[in-house]
Structure 1
């Protein structure tokens, strides 16, 4: 497949790009600073641009079979604006224009999926996020809303505590109140889950929570 990756220079993004390349996919990565993406591969195309530039985003999406977004908000309390929410809206618009329907991204269990049942995380996590990371929660809410409010064929993996531990190769996934899903998960396993969604149809137009 031809896959466009946003957030490719982040911890999860780099691992996602590498896994895609290892799987024989062609990857296009839109990055602000190409030097931050140290990977080199004949099937990797790096384009320089900003999420705030609709033309650059559309160029990156053109010809893709799917888009994977490993974008995540800043946890700095001093952060301002909504660059990722606005950038995600640009991604959605570009996908609709280029008729690319498959979107795979990230969020948090602070945001509920309609398939969830009542769960303590629905009460605790949003309160904690509003107190500790209000800007990040606002960004995630905007990013997620831009996707779920569209007609895209999306899967948004909700993660709680990404770590740099080695991959386990094991993933729990599902919906709060239904399935036994924990919190911590190595970034390498998160990347593997995102890539697997290219062909996994279980979570189409859904936001599963995932962990080890």
Structure 2
């Protein structure tokens, strides 16, 4: 497949690029600073852009099969980034007629897992309160995506870890895995690449966790 990856210098974004290249896909990595992209290899195109103008981003998505995004705030000071930059991506995709989109959101934005006890629900509320601005931003991003004409999938992980890819995790379409508290960034990337070809995840939020 021909893939475009936004947020390609982030923890999940770089893993998407690395694993996609390893699987033989052609990858366009959209970055602000090419020096921060540690991944190289045949099939990789690096596209420099600051994501302020959908017209400038159009060449990065033109003719692609799938767009994957790891865009998002790195902390409360960056709140608002996810919705704003994703709006640019959506505009470029609409202009080029590219439909398949997968993005990273977060567990607290989606529905609670069925059967979660009081402790899990309490922890969820505490996490949301501590990073409220970030999650409000992600909620706005999800709303923008839901209104779009894309065939979208929103992937919602819990607390992220730096671990090697395992390919062993749980996923729940329209919900979240019970007692799912952690997942590695590499496995979030793995899940997104698997879901890229899964019609059952189109226009769905998907919870992923160990």
Unmatched tracts of structure 2, length 5 or more: none
Partner of 1:202: 200
What TM-score do you get using the length of structure 1 for normalisation?
0.88
Asked if residue 52 in structure 1 is aligned to residue 52 in structure 2, the reply is yes
Matches within 5 A, 1:87-166: 87-112=85-110, 124=122, 127-166=125-164
> How many angstroms apart in 2 are the aligned matches of 1:120 and 1:151?
37
> How many angstroms apart in 1 are the aligned matches of 2:147 and 2:7?
21
Contact 1:71–1:106 under 8 Å retained in 2: yes
Contact 2:177–2:209 under 8 Å retained in 1: no
| Greater displacement, 35-44 / 178-187 | 178-187
Residues 122-142 of structure 1: CA deviation (Å, up to 9, x unaligned): 954664344311221122112
| Greater displacement, 24-33 / 56-65 | 56-65
Asked if residue 9 in structure 1 is aligned to residue 9 in structure 2, the reply is yes
Sort the Cα spacing of 1:179 and 1:80 in 2 relative to 1 into closer, same or farther, 3 A. Answer: closer
Asked if residue 42 in structure 1 is aligned to residue 64 in structure 2, the reply is no
Sort the Cα spacing of 1:118 and 1:86 in 2 relative to 1 into closer, same or farther, 3 A. Answer: farther
Unmatched tracts of structure 1, length 5 or more: none
Sort the Cα spacing of 1:86 and 1:41 in 2 relative to 1 into closer, same or farther, 3 A. Answer: same
Contact 2:31–2:49 under 8 Å retained in 1: yes
- Quote how far apart the aligned CAs of 1:39 are: 1.9
> How many angstroms apart in 1 are the aligned matches of 2:43 and 2:175?
41
Partner of 1:20: 20
Sort the Cα spacing of 1:130 and 1:165 in 2 relative to 1 into closer, same or farther, 3 A. Answer: closer
> How many angstroms apart in 1 are the aligned matches of 2:57 and 2:70?
15
Kindly tell me the number of residue pairs found equivalent between the two proteins: 209
Q: CA RMSD for the aligned pairs? A: 2.5
Sort the Cα spacing of 1:84 and 1:97 in 2 relative to 1 into closer, same or farther, 3 A. Answer: same
Match of 1:39, SS state, is coil
- Quote how far apart the aligned CAs of 1:120 are: 5.9
What TM-score do you get using the length of structure 2 for normalisation?
0.88
Sort the Cα spacing of 1:57 and 1:181 in 2 relative to 1 into closer, same or farther, 3 A. Answer: farther
> How many angstroms apart in 1 are the aligned matches of 2:61 and 2:136?
25
Partner of 2:74: 74
